[in-house]
Amino acid sequence: MPIDSFSQFKEHSVAEFFKKNKQMLGFSGKVRSLTTIVHEFTSNSLDAGEEVGILPEIFIQLEEEGDDKYKIAVQDNCGGIPEKYLGKALGQLLAGTKFHRYVQQRGQQGIGASGCIMYSQITTGKPAWVRSGYKNVIIECNIGINVSKNTPVITNLTKTMGEFSGLRIEAHLGDVRYENSGYGVYEYLKQTVLANPHAQIEFIAPDAQRYMFPRAVDVVPKPPIETKPHILGITANDLVEFSRRIKESRISAFLAEEFSRVSSNKVKELQELLPDIDFSQPPTSLNWDTAEKLIKAVHTLKWIAPATDILRPIGKENVARALQNILNPQFIAQSDRSPQIFHGGIPYQVEVAIAYGFTNGAHNRIMRFANRVPLLFDAGACGLTEAVKTIEWKRYRIDDFENMPIAVFVNFVSVHVPYTSAGKQAIALEEEIIAEVRNAIMEAARPVKGYLNGIVHLQERSSRRKVFLRYVAQLAGDMSELADMPKKKEAIKKGLVDLVEHRVGLIEEAEDAEAETAKEANAANGAVANGQENGNGKKDFEEKGE
């Protein structure tokens, strides 16, 4: 078969595009590539579940097939994909339904599952195998991508009737590696369930170890509402791009229809400020210069803040249940923040939970999420990490943040997450965002302090009793033998236990009385205590000044 030089060129360009942008799209490094692939498939399943209102049950299996080669199988129960869309959804790049939408969303921009199938194909040369059960029709086929045309290649398709409702994808992957670390698949899935407590995930690791992350909440979150962007959150560039994609025939209509909080009165005000621009011209006439002028003018006017009810936080109670379910900590404290606006026009909300005292520890003490998606990479460059790091933990009785059993959960919810890069693993270090996240963390940390104070007290008590009681058996044995009365051992033991209980009881009574007095004294001297704190602060300052 003769090789068409043109198609070869095109093939090259699509493959080249992917390869060149691979890093940006999360395919940098073997471990990260595998996590990205798992992320793409799981996000698809979770989104599908939300859309059709099904509680997701996701199954993921990884099998080693050689050096840096794995087979992945992902299966969900989220309604499947009809035959008609199967190719488009899985065998065509940038064909997802999420691209160019102004909505709170999980996934990467459209690179999604087809990007993973592409990755599979270019690293192993093998197509993926798919089984989709949609409305009692089960389709099984191989899916590859014709890279020259960027079209799906579907082969060996069979169609049967059956009960299965969902999607199963099996793909071979090269140049990836499984690692049980803070960057690995296990941690990713664990955190995914933390942020999506309505989902159940079963994971079989390459060493055949089976992990079950059970569901904690039985309510499917409402699908996110698509919204118009607020005019204050728009840049000149956004404006030019938007203007090429819309149906309106005049600039005035374009502004009023495509952006929220832009009334016809506001359009008039803008027109008055910008007599040089003809608002009756088609939006395509907007060039960079005019767009820039328009945005400048926008910022001189007052606008009603954007609606914040479109945000879909996980919810305080759901986060608590999820943490309880997965980490099983002794104590959970949470923030309760209302939505905020950044850049004047983009609504967002921060959800913070602090879990204290767990044995099945997390790899990461700071668990970052953007719209329920775990952010495992680029922690150092992330505004959420920065906010956690600047907290004075000692104030909250957390004397050793690095070593105490504590985890901080931060979910950043927004229709537009200000990522630092296309890799989407770090949130920009923007001052107003960091300040809000800090406030949320401090709000959650306050009850932790109270709890730890209480624990220390209880620990002292229980260990005091324990210290005595653990020696009672040995002591009773030795004493009875020492006095040559071995038969008295049990009586001595009982006597010692009574003695300990009685004595410890007396000590505790005394302590309680003391604490009660101290409490009353504190209540009476509340103002004095604050005054002392200030006094100390001043002293520190003076010392530094010297």
Q: Which is nearer to other proteins, 10 or 489 (CB)?
A: 489
We find the least distance from the C-beta atom of residue 486 to other proteins, in angstroms, to be: 11
Could you give the C-alpha distances from 545 to 399, 474, 537, 539, in angstroms and in order? 26, 59, 12, 10
Torsion angle of alpha carbons 209, 25, 55, 376, nearest 10°?
Answer: 60
Cβ neighbours for 465, distance < 8 A, ≥ 6 positions apart: 500, 501, 504
Question: Can you spell out the DSSP letters for 147-169?
Answer: TTTTEEEEEEEEEEE-S--EEEE
Q: Of residues 394, 470, 538, 539, which one binds other proteins by CB under 8 A?
A: 470
- Determine if 514 is a binding residue for other proteins (CB under 8 A): no
Q: Of residues 94, 485, 521, 529, which one binds other proteins by CB under 8 A?
A: 485
Choices 7-15, 376-384, 441-449, 493-501 (CB under 8 A): range interacting with other proteins? 493-501
Beta-bridge partners for 155: 142
Beta-bridge partners for 153: 144
Beta strands in 282-365 (DSSP E): 331-334, 340-342, 346-356
Q: Which is nearer to other proteins, 238 or 498 (CB)?
A: 498
> How many angstroms separate the CA atoms of 181 and 124, rounded?
25
Backbone torsions φ then ψ of 279, nearest 5 degrees = -70, -5
- Determine if 488 is a binding residue for other proteins (CB under 8 A): yes
What would the two tokens of residue 310 be?
Answer: 């479109």
- Determine if 481 is a binding residue for other proteins (CB under 8 A): yes
We find the least distance from the C-beta atom of residue 433 to other proteins, in angstroms, to be: 47
What would the two tokens of residue 484 be?
Answer: 């040559």
Q: Which is nearer to other proteins, 62 or 496 (CB)?
A: 496
Q: Which is nearer to other proteins, 317 or 498 (CB)?
A: 498
Beta strands in 247-391 (DSSP E): 331-334, 340-342, 346-356, 366-370, 373-375
- Determine if 479 is a binding residue for other proteins (CB under 8 A): yes
Beta-bridge partners for 170: 73, 129
What would the two tokens of residue 478 be?
Answer: 């030795």
We find the least distance from the C-beta atom of residue 47 to other proteins, in angstroms, to be: 49
- Determine if 524 is a binding residue for other proteins (CB under 8 A): no
- Determine if 12 is a binding residue for other proteins (CB under 8 A): no
- Determine if 495 is a binding residue for other proteins (CB under 8 A): yes
Q: Which is nearer to other proteins, 268 or 470 (CB)?
A: 470
- Determine if 498 is a binding residue for other proteins (CB under 8 A): yes
> How many angstroms separate the CA atoms of 157 and 129, rounded?
10
Q: Of residues 474, 522, 525, 532, which one binds other proteins by CB under 8 A?
A: 474
Choices 78-86, 204-212, 410-418, 489-497 (CB under 8 A): range interacting with other proteins? 489-497
Q: Which is nearer to other proteins, 317 or 481 (CB)?
A: 481
- Determine if 502 is a binding residue for other proteins (CB under 8 A): yes
We find the least distance from the C-beta atom of residue 330 to other proteins, in angstroms, to be: 20
Q: Which is nearer to other proteins, 19 or 503 (CB)?
A: 503
Choices 74-82, 283-291, 398-406, 477-485 (CB under 8 A): range interacting with other proteins? 477-485
DSSP structural state of residue 70: E
Residues touching other proteins, count (CB under 8 A) = 26
Choices 63-71, 309-317, 434-442, 498-506 (CB under 8 A): range interacting with other proteins? 498-506
Query: Tokens 């959420």 appear where?
Result: 384
We find the least distance from the C-beta atom of residue 458 to other proteins, in angstroms, to be: 16
We find the least distance from the C-beta atom of residue 331 to other proteins, in angstroms, to be: 25
Task: Answer for the pair 504, 465: CB distance below 8 angstroms, yes or no.
Answer: yes
Give the 3-state secondary structure of residue 325: helix
We find the least distance from the C-beta atom of residue 457 to other proteins, in angstroms, to be: 15
Choices 158-166, 432-440, 483-491, 509-517 (CB under 8 A): range interacting with other proteins? 483-491
Give the 3-state secondary structure of residue 414: strand
- Determine if 359 is a binding residue for other proteins (CB under 8 A): no
Q: Which is nearer to other proteins, 136 or 474 (CB)?
A: 474
What would the two tokens of residue 188 be?
Answer: 């990713």
Beta-bridge partners for 308: none
- Determine if 482 is a binding residue for other proteins (CB under 8 A): yes
Strands 366-370 and 406-414: parallel
> How many angstroms separate the CA atoms of 276 and 287, rounded?
13
We find the least distance from the C-beta atom of residue 471 to other proteins, in angstroms, to be: 4
Beta strands in 185-282 (DSSP E): 200-204, 210-213
- Determine if 500 is a binding residue for other proteins (CB under 8 A): yes
> How many angstroms separate the CA atoms of 294 and 287, rounded?
11
Q: Which is nearer to other proteins, 309 or 478 (CB)?
A: 478
> How many angstroms separate the CA atoms of 439 and 69, rounded?
45
- Determine if 458 is a binding residue for other proteins (CB under 8 A): no
> How many angstroms separate the CA atoms of 417 and 346, rounded?
9
- Determine if 484 is a binding residue for other proteins (CB under 8 A): yes
- Residue among 10, 176, 35 nearest 93 (CA): 10
> How many angstroms separate the CA atoms of 438 and 447, rounded?
15
- Determine if 98 is a binding residue for other proteins (CB under 8 A): no
Task: Answer for the pair 363, 187: CB distance below 8 angstroms, yes or no.
Answer: yes
- Determine if 499 is a binding residue for other proteins (CB under 8 A): yes
Choices 36-44, 77-85, 258-266, 461-469 (CB under 8 A): range interacting with other proteins? 461-469
Choices 10-18, 260-268, 427-435, 467-475 (CB under 8 A): range interacting with other proteins? 467-475
Q: Which is nearer to other proteins, 182 or 477 (CB)?
A: 477
Q: Which is nearer to other proteins, 149 or 503 (CB)?
A: 503
- Determine if 464 is a binding residue for other proteins (CB under 8 A): yes
Task: Answer for the pair 284, 243: CB distance below 8 angstroms, yes or no.
Answer: yes
What is the contact surface with other proteins in residues (CB under 8 A)?
464, 467-468, 470-471, 473-475, 477-485, 488, 492, 495-496, 498-500, 502-503
